[in-house]
Structures are given as C-alpha cells and as structure tokens.
C-alpha cells in the first residue's frame, strides 16, 4: 500500500459530515385504522380508486378508512381529482381521534412496470417527500390491494418501499452552509407480511441503500475535494470499517510503473494530483469454494479532455467530476457487501484513479502508450482516456486469476445517444454473463440493455504505427470503445462492460448511485447472509 496519500486543499473547501438517514423499518400486520403515528400512506392504483354504484370506494381498505374518516377521504379525492395515477399524491391532516394517524396520504402507484421493484421504490420516495413536508418522525406504508402481490414477492416489495423511503429522505447538503435536519426516524410497512424473511429483506435494503448513498456522495463531491487520493482514502475507510472481510492494496505511481501500466500513467501524467491504483478485496474464500470475481470502475475524478479539451456549450465539462461514477458504484457496492457474509467468494474492486488534465508533461495526440500486457496504443484523442486507464486495470484483474469480470464506466456519449439518459448499455461477447447481469438488474430495478459487439468495426481501430488507436469514427462509438476494452481481457475470463454514462446523473445533475444495487445483486445471486 502506498505509504502516504496526497490530498488536495484547493479552495479551502471541506465537506460537512454526511446527513445520512437513520430510519428503522419494521414489517407489521397492524390494522391501518389503529396504527398510531404521524402519517399513514396508502399506495393506490387507478383501479383501487374506482367507485361503486353509490359513488363510494369499491376497495375494502379505502372503504374502511373512509368510514372511519366520515367520508373525508372520498370527498377530498373527488375535489382534488385524485385518480391514483402514478406520480399523484394527496395528503390530509386529520382531526384528532378519527384514526390513530395524524395524517393520511394516498399515493398513485403504477399498476405495472417492466422492472417490478420500480413502482414500489417510487412509492417509498413519495412517502419520504410527504414525511419531509409534514416534518413527520414516524410513518406507515400500506397498499390498497396487497392481495394482488404473491406471498413470495411481498418481502421484496417491502424492501423496495424501504429503499425508496431511505433514498427519498437523503439530501446531500455537505457543501451547503445551511441544511435541514432529517426528522423521519421510523417506518412501519403494513400488510405485506411479517417475520424473519421480511426482516432480512428490510435489513438487506438498508445495506444496499447505504451503498447507494455513498455512491451518490462520491459523485456529487467536486473534483477539488474528491481527488484520486481522496478516492483511495474512501477505499481505506471501507477496509478499516469491515476488516473481517476486506483487505486493501493501493499502488502509487512508482509501483504502477513497476507493473508497466503505461496506459494508465499516460492519462495521469498531466495532473498535479498523483494517481492511485486501488485493489479492495472482499474475501471469504474456503478450500471448497473458488469463486473469484472482479469489478472494475472507471475512476477519472476529473476529465478536462486533455489536449483534446472539452469545449463549447455542449461539452458539459463542468459535470466531468462524474467521470468516476463507475468507481463510486463499486465502492458503494463494497460498502453494502461489507455488511454481509457471502460464503466462499473473492471479489476484487479495482479502480485506476487519476485526473485527465493539461500540462507540459501530459500526453499529446499522436503519442504512443504501452499497456501492461505489451500492446501499444496510438492516442489519436486524449479525451478517450477512460478506456486507457481501464486497459491496465483489466490486465491487472485478469492476472489475479478471476473467472468473471464486470466493469462500470461513464465511457461514451455515444451510448447516451443510442439509449438516452436513463438506460445503461451492456456489451459482452458472452451470453452467460449477459444473462447474469441483466437478471441482477431486473431485481435491482436499474435499466440495462444489451448492445452488439460488432467485430467488423474493429478494423476502424487499427493503427499504422501501433497495435491500435484509442478511438474510432463517431458512428458506433460505444461499440468500438467496448471492442477496444476487449483487447485487454484474458480469453479465459467472462467479461461484461456496462456503459453508465447516461443514468449516473438525474435531470437535476445530481448523482443517482446507479450501478450499486445491480452489482450487489450480481455478486450475491441469492447467496447473501445478513450479519
């Protein structure tokens, strides 16, 4: 491990302590009218809001609530034209003594979704918003039609709601001079069963949510605070927090030079902030089990574009602090997994952390870099730098004897052009690992789509003076980027590349934590044991 890690102090900016939600969740079978607390939220679909011949609710739970409220719920929903459409919400403050809750809310719930967890996570986020506006410290969530969910799915639905509540409550105010105190402390999930399985699912949701929040904070942090050294320090925090399952190796520039990581060091050469190569290893290996995996995350803490400087109004250079979102997702997944015990598995979380800047010592267009596997790369565009850092990271990972490898990288604008801002692209020559990753995403609720690996496009990536160039024509840019990465993957290793350039930020340019939950699911595949 590097003996000392250099940290920047530009602008004298230091983040305040994170204001992370501390909410206790419980699965209960309490009668909704008897539950006592600040706000009772009911997830309803348009079907649940249908009226009978007497212009009253058909739904039994809504009938029961409305009877206790003297028709107030029906009257308010009619006056507010609340129909139960996804995104609608209605919150009423109640006179004392009608039911146990001080407020009741109706929240529109999508009846169907391609990813089953999505509407319930959205429900949880809406509950968090209602709790914030009313400064509630306690809340309960139920569904108007819980019988529509199978007994097998109910624990997962409860977990999705809990995840939504936690993430909806979270606000990243570390860089604001003033911030509001979070008030929500307890949430009961009613009518979706109770017992050990529900408790385990809720605990698991808490682990994953903590990882997503870490991922969001890392991406939101500005580049003058989250330098390569600071990213390495985050890995050290995780290793020290969960020493039972983690070991850590951090290499400095000299150590990377010894491993002949010319591609990675070429990108890092222009920055005053030194690079660090991070290998955070989760291990519970036994003699009987030999599952070894690698997760690799692009870790550019800032990307200026280098001498191919990002310019113009559409360059989004001000957002290039997010070019380490793949690395952030890995550390978030590591934090979540550190709270669990997974039998007989070894996972390398690998990040080649650096900045892509401009200086007299920086790489120039036309330079030739030599990667650690001996392959040479003509740099025809210094703004196609992430794939250069990943090249050496892949060689390192394959040398650790891993069987499968997945990388997450904000790699190309071309993937955003192809799939839009909400869907990540999956590139792999292996059908088995494609099914695994897409299956994990279906459980997590994150949107992924498999893209082609058109081998004929590789002809456009050949150089006259080196083995390859680092970027091809604009057409099919996400595909040629994946084909470039493939040159550094051992043929024995099953590998998938996930281009997350679009969904790592929301429409307000805030971090989403995309990738954390899918990577946790992919590692686990049903083997997690909460501890």
Same domain as 413, residue 313 = yes
Same domain as 227, residue 90 = no
Q: Per mean pLDDT, which range of 112-121, 128-137, 413-422, 478-487 is the poorest? A: 112-121
Nearest residue to 237 (alpha-carbon basis) of 180, 176, 278:
278
Same domain as 117, residue 260 = no
Please check whether residue 162 lies inside any domain of the structure: yes
Residue 20, pLDDT score: 93
Between CA 507 and CA 118 the distance in angstroms is: 18
Q: Do residues 309 and 361 lie in contact, with contact meaning Cβ atoms separated by under 8 Å?
A: no
Residue carrying the six token digits 């969910």: 149
Please check whether residue 202 lies inside any domain of the structure: no
Same domain as 249, residue 159 = no
Residue 59, pLDDT score: 96
Mapping DSSP onto H, E and C, the string for 151-171 reads CCCHHHHHHHHHHHHHHHHCC
Same domain as 219, residue 97 = no
Q: Which residues are catalytic?
A: 310, 387
Same domain as 144, residue 235 = no
Per-residue pLDDT tens for 432-451? 999 999 999 999 999 999 99
Of how many residues is the chain composed? 531
Please check whether residue 19 lies inside any domain of the structure: no
What's the sign of the alpha-carbon dihedral 321, 322, 328, 332?
A: positive
Average pLDDT, integer, range 397-409: 97
Average pLDDT, integer, range 231-256: 97
470 in helix, strand or coil? coil
Q: How many structural domains does the chain have?
A: 2
Q: Is the pTM of this model over 0.85?
A: yes
Average pLDDT, integer, range 204-215: 98
Same domain as 175, residue 239 = no
Q: Do residues 405 and 350 lie in contact, with contact meaning Cβ atoms separated by under 8 Å?
A: no
Per-residue pLDDT tens for 296-335? 999 999 999 999 999 988 899 999 999 999 999 999 999 9
Q: Do residues 139 and 32 lie in contact, with contact meaning Cβ atoms separated by under 8 Å?
A: no
Q: Read out DSSP for 317-380? A: GGGGGGGGHHHHHHHHHHHHHHTEEETTEEEEEEEEEEEE--STTS--TT-EEE-TTS-EEE-S
Q: Do residues 159 and 128 lie in contact, with contact meaning Cβ atoms separated by under 8 Å?
A: no
Please check whether residue 167 lies inside any domain of the structure: yes
183: domain CATH number? 3.40.220.10
Same domain as 392, residue 249 = yes
391: domain CATH number? 3.40.630.10
Same domain as 277, residue 374 = yes
162, 192, 222: which is the final residue of a domain? Answer: 192
Q: Do residues 470 and 379 lie in contact, with contact meaning Cβ atoms separated by under 8 Å?
A: yes
Please check whether residue 394 lies inside any domain of the structure: yes
Please check whether residue 7 lies inside any domain of the structure: no
Mapping DSSP onto H, E and C, the string for 482-530 reads HHHHHCCCCCCCEEEEEECCCCCECCCCCECCCCHHHHHHHHHCCCEEE
Q: What are phi and psi of 168, to 5 degrees?
A: -70, -25
Chain centroid to CA 434 = 19
Nearest residue to 210 (alpha-carbon basis) of 516, 521, 527:
516
Same domain as 404, residue 273 = yes
Residue 342, pLDDT score: 86
DSSP-derived pairing of the beta strands 424-427 and 404-409: unpaired
Q: Model confidence at 531, in pLDDT bands (50, 70, 90)? A: very low
Q: What are phi and psi of 409, to 5 degrees?
A: -150, 135
Please check whether residue 14 lies inside any domain of the structure: no
136, 162, 192: which is the final residue of a domain? Answer: 192
What range defines the domain where residue 287 resides? Answer: 212-524
Same domain as 228, residue 170 = no
Q: Do residues 447 and 512 lie in contact, with contact meaning Cβ atoms separated by under 8 Å?
A: no
192, 227, 259: which is the final residue of a domain? Answer: 192
DSSP 51: B
Q: Do residues 356 and 306 lie in contact, with contact meaning Cβ atoms separated by under 8 Å?
A: yes
Please check whether residue 200 lies inside any domain of the structure: no
CA-only gyration radius of the chain, Å = 25
Position 529 pLDDT exceeds 50: no
Same domain as 83, residue 44 = yes
Residue 530, pLDDT score: 41
């Amino acid at each position: 491990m590097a003996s000392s890690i250099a940290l920047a102090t530009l602008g004298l900016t230091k983040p305040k302590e994170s204001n992370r939600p501390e909410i206790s969740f419980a699965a209960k079978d309490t009668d909704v009218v008897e539950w006592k607390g600040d706000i009772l939220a009911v997830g309803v679909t348009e079907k649940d809001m249908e009226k009978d011949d007497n212009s009253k609710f058909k739904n039994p739970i809504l009938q029961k609530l409305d009877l206790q409220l003297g028709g107030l719920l029906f009257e308010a929903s009619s006056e507010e034209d609340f129909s139960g459409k996804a995104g609608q919400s209605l919150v009423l403050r109640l006179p004392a003594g009608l039911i146990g809750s001080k407020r009741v809310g109706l929240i529109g719930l999508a009846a169907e979704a391609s990813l089953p967890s999505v509407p319930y996570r959205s429900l949880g986020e809406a509950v968090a918003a209602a709790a914030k506006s009313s400064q509630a410290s306690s809340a309960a969530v139920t569904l108007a039609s819980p019988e529509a969910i199978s007994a097998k799915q109910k624990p997962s639905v409860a977990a999705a709601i809990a995840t939504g509540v936690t993430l909806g409550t979270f606000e990243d105010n570390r860089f604001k001079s003033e911030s509001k105190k979070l008030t929500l402390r307890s949430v009961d999930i009613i009518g979706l069963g109770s017992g050990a399985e529900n408790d385990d699912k809720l605990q698991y949701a808490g682990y994953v949510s903590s990882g997503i929040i870490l991922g969001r904070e890392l991406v939101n942090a500005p580049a003058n605070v989250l330098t390569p050294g600071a990213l390495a320090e985050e890995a050290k925090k995780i290793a020290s927090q969960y020493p039972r399952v983690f070991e850590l190796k951090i290499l400095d520039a000299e150590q990377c030079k010894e491993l002949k990581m010319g591609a990675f060091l070429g990108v890092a050469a222009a920055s005053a902030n030194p690079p660090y190569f991070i290998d955070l290893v989760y291990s519970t290996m036994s003699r009987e089990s030999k599952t070894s995996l690698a997760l690799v995350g692009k870790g550019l803490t800032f990307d200026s574009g280098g001498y191919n400087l990002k310019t113009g109004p559409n360059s989004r250079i001000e957002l290039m602090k997010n070019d380490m979102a793949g690395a952030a997702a890995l550390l978030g997944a590591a934090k979540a997994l550190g709270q669990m015990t997974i039998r007989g598995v070894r996972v390398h979380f690998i990040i080649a952390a650096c900045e892509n800047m401009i200086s007299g010592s920086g790489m120039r267009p036309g330079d030739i870099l030599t990667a650690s596997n001996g392959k040479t790369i003509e740099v025809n565009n210094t703004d196609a730098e992430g794939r250069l850092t990943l090249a050496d990271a892949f060689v390192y990972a394959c040398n650790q004897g891993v069987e499968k490898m997945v990388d997450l990288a904000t790699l190309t604008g071309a993937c955003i052009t192809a799939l839009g801002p909400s869907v990540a692209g999956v590139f792999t020559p292996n059908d088995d690992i494609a099914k695994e990753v897409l299956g994990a995403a279906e459980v997590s609720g994150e949107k992924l789509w498999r893209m082609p690996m058109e081998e004929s496009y590789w002809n456009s990536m050949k150089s006259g003076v080196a083995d390859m160039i680092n970027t091809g024509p604009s057409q099919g840019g996400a595909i040629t980027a994946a084909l470039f990465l493939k040159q550094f993957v051992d043929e024995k290793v099953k590998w998938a590349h996930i281009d997350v350039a679009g969904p790592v930020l929301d429409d307000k340019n805030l971090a989403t934590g995309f990738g954390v939950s899918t990577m946790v699911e992919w590692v686990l595949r049903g083997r997690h044991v909460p501890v």
